[in-house]
Amino acid sequence: MPELRKDPVIGRWVIIATDRAKRPDQFSSSVVEKEELAAGEKCPFCEGNESLTPPEIYALRKPGGPPNGPGWNVRVIPSISPLLHIEGNLDRHGHGMYDLMNARGAHEIIIETPQHLVEGQLSKEQIISSINVILSRIQDLERDPGIKYVLMFKNYGKAAGGGHIKHARTQIIGTPVNLKRVKEELAGTKTYYDYKERCIFCDILKQEMAAQKRVIADSKYFIAIAPFASRFPFETWILPKEHSCDFYKIDRDRIPDFVELSRLVFGKTRKAIGDFPFNFVLHTAPFRRDIAKRDYWETIDYDYHWHFEILPILTRVAGFEWGSGFYINPLPPEDACKYVKEAQI
């Protein structure tokens, strides 16, 4: 019998359709397509092709090297097709009952390697460098009073919106408004905190550690779980074990531990189902400089807990999901966890 499960944070229901349960090899039809560059097409993210991108915002390069040329290790550029623009002002206004504003914000691409490597081919050191650059970018964007939130994400594979060029990269988008998804989580975590005076994510971690049914792996400072109400097969969350609401305030000494655990989780999942399309998103607390909202933020340091969500794109979202806001997941997270845990790399 299928099971309805409720996500404890935001109250979203998921149907775990156990009667449609698949084995991991049945997901391999969703593997990532081979990269095919058109004849004469060059990868704009490779070292040596800097002139194919807008001028860089930042680059980690050897001292003395001029910008927008070779010799870098990690490079940050404005998006080639930005969703939001850093210039201009918001001009928030009403049109009758409708609200609108200019799409002001930031949209940056962090190119994680000068070589043409894809996700999964980067060394631990290279990923650590990229994360350090991303943290500096988030800290820089915090200084822009027009930006309320920075969303960091990855799209990998065409099915996940990753485009046809697979050069490893991360996107960050600084938005002038707070995000609906994050607001839902903030509301859920605050309600829980008001009632229990505890962080709901810390409670989830405690329960999962005790039960050991959905813990994929853990390290000294981080843990990867298959969430109880997973929306997608092989959905995984990575969280710090110690309570913290702001990713960008992470102790930089802990980044190697985080990278090791993430690489292990991705490596084992790939071993279980092959190279898979995915979205990877960071959920962290919004910037809190709005004095008027101080009461609203009063407990956020205690009630919210940052985390990454790995969302494999292996199933299609269709009419039922769009109409209901529910998700149908054909693989119980306990099974997904077992398959990934058992994969040997």
Least separation in angstroms between residue 339's CB and Zn ion is 23
Least separation in angstroms between residue 189's CB and Zn ion is 8
Among 50, 305, 335, 340, binds Zn ion (CB under 5 A): 305
Interface with Zn ion (CB under 5 A), residue total: 11
CA atoms lying within 13 Å on the CB side of residue 325: 7
Q: Does 12 bind Zn ion (CB under 5 A)?
A: no
Q: Does 201 bind Zn ion (CB under 5 A)?
A: yes
In DSSP terms, 5 is beta-bridged to 14
Q: Does 243 bind Zn ion (CB under 5 A)?
A: yes
Only one of the segments 94-102, 164-172, 256-264, 291-299 lies at the binding site for Zn ion (rule: CB under 5 A); that segment is 164-172
Q: Does 283 bind Zn ion (CB under 5 A)?
A: yes
- Tokens linked to 140: 């820089």
Least separation in angstroms between residue 250's CB and Zn ion is 14
Closest to Zn ion by CB, 52 or 177: 52
Given the structure tokens 């990575």, which residue do they identify? 238
Q: Does 308 bind Zn ion (CB under 5 A)?
A: no
CA atoms lying within 13 Å on the CB side of residue 16: 19
Q: Are 165 and 116 in contact (CB under 8 A)?
A: no
Among 199, 204, 265, 282, binds Zn ion (CB under 5 A): 199
- Identify which of 32, 106, 122 has the alpha carbon closest to the alpha carbon of residue 74: 122
Among 14, 32, 45, 332, binds Zn ion (CB under 5 A): 45
Only one of the segments 37-45, 135-143, 256-264, 315-323 lies at the binding site for Zn ion (rule: CB under 5 A); that segment is 37-45
Least separation in angstroms between residue 68's CB and Zn ion is 16
In DSSP terms, 77 is beta-bridged to 109
Q: Other C-beta atoms within 10 Å of 179: how many? A: 17
Closest to Zn ion by CB, 134 or 239: 239
Only one of the segments 79-87, 88-96, 167-175, 315-323 lies at the binding site for Zn ion (rule: CB under 5 A); that segment is 167-175
Closest to Zn ion by CB, 128 or 202: 202
Least separation in angstroms between residue 48's CB and Zn ion is 10
Closest to Zn ion by CB, 136 or 299: 299
Only one of the segments 15-23, 50-58, 200-208, 249-257 lies at the binding site for Zn ion (rule: CB under 5 A); that segment is 200-208
Closest to Zn ion by CB, 24 or 130: 130
Q: Does 60 bind Zn ion (CB under 5 A)?
A: no
d(CA 297, CA 295): 5
Only one of the segments 52-60, 128-136, 148-156, 238-246 lies at the binding site for Zn ion (rule: CB under 5 A); that segment is 238-246
Least separation in angstroms between residue 47's CB and Zn ion is 8
Interface of this chain with Zn ion, residues 109 to 148, rule: CB under 5 A? 116
Residues in touch with Zn ion (CB under 5 A): 43, 45-46, 116, 167, 199, 201-202, 243, 283, 305
